Amino acid sequence: MTFPSKLDLPPEQWDRLFAPSSCLAMITTADSNGRVNAASFGTCVRVNHEPVYIAFTVTRAKDTCNNVLATGEFVVNLPSFDRELLEKVRVDERAPGLYEVNVADAQAVLEQAGRVLTELWPTVQPALSLQRGVEYRISSAAGDGVLSSQGFTLTAPKLAARAGLQVGDTILSVNGRPVDGFASLYRIFREVRQDPTLRTVRVELARQGTRRTQTYRIR
């Protein structure tokens, strides 16, 4: 498996990376001896437009905190799905709620998903919502949404719209496995990735107060 090269964006584009809300990010730092540390956070936000100020929360006992205090520097890395790869995925609607996905395309997406989840897990730190409790705001080329104990609610389907998903849909489970946190996403991915015989993925979701099932056949 090959990995994409790191893309350094100019300061004038930093502001747009954090619009409109917080996102998952990998914070890399180095200690006074140059040893690099990487940790993931769900609390990385923009707090000022011009100049762009980026803030994240970390406990004093963490290496990230110690390194920032020692050097005054940190790097924000935003892993995301490869949009070009996702645009090539062929999804055909065969009937209402029934879709077919090419097996080679599905395998490529799983490889990409594995890279993203590996980079973010297990050190990602959640944000706290007074309405939903612990939640994660996730942004990718596939779609944007909020992950909580109540499921994953899409705020912008983006490329996921090709799979029949809409704004406001809340994904409740995948093949019977509840979607109720970041750890559950990793477990679902691992089960799907490790089952070479898997040919059907059933996604239960809530749409406008009604539960429905979207079925994806891998051919």
Residues 6+ apart with CB under 8 A from 48: none
Q: Are 171 and 152 in contact (CB under 8 A)?
A: yes
User: Which range (1-15, 36-50, 68-82, 143-157) has the least confidence?
Assistant: 1-15
The pLDDT of 31-36, averaged and rounded, is 86
Is the pLDDT confidence value at 44 over 90? Answer: no
Is the pLDDT confidence value at 74 over 70? Answer: yes
Neighbour-count burial of 84, counting CB atoms closer than 10 A to its CB (0-12 exposed, 13-18 middle, 19+ buried): exposed
Q: Are 201 and 218 in contact (CB under 8 A)?
A: yes
The span from the CA of 17 to the CA of 10, in Å, is: 11
Question: Which stretch of DSSP H or E encloses residue 145?
Answer: strand 144-148
Residue tagged 């109720």 (tokens): 180
For 31-84, list the strands marked E by DSSP: 36-48, 53-55, 75-77
| pLDDT on residue 178 | 93
Fill in the amino acid letter for 63: D
Q: Quickly state the pLDDT bin for 55 (edges 50, 70, 90).
A: confident
**Which residue from 76, 58, 74 is spatially nearest to 15, judged by alpha carbons?**
76
Fill in the amino acid letter for 215: T
| pLDDT on residue 204 | 96
Query: Full-prediction pTM beyond 0.75?
Result: no
| pLDDT on residue 124 | 46
Is the pLDDT confidence value at 121 over 60? Answer: no
Q: Quickly state the pLDDT bin for 71 (edges 50, 70, 90).
A: very high
Residue tagged 């990385």 (tokens): 44
Q: What is the DSSP string of 91-115?
A: EEEEETTEEEE-HHHHHHHHHHHHH
Is the pLDDT confidence value at 41 over 90? Answer: no
| pLDDT on residue 16 | 55
Residue 68 main-chain phi, psi, to 5 deg: -65, -40
Question: Which stretch of DSSP H or E encloses residue 8?
Answer: none
Structure tokens at 175: 């093949």
| pLDDT on residue 176 | 92
The full set of domains in the chain, from first to last, is: 11-77 (2.30.110.10), 83-218 (2.30.42.10)
Fill in the amino acid letter for 99: Y
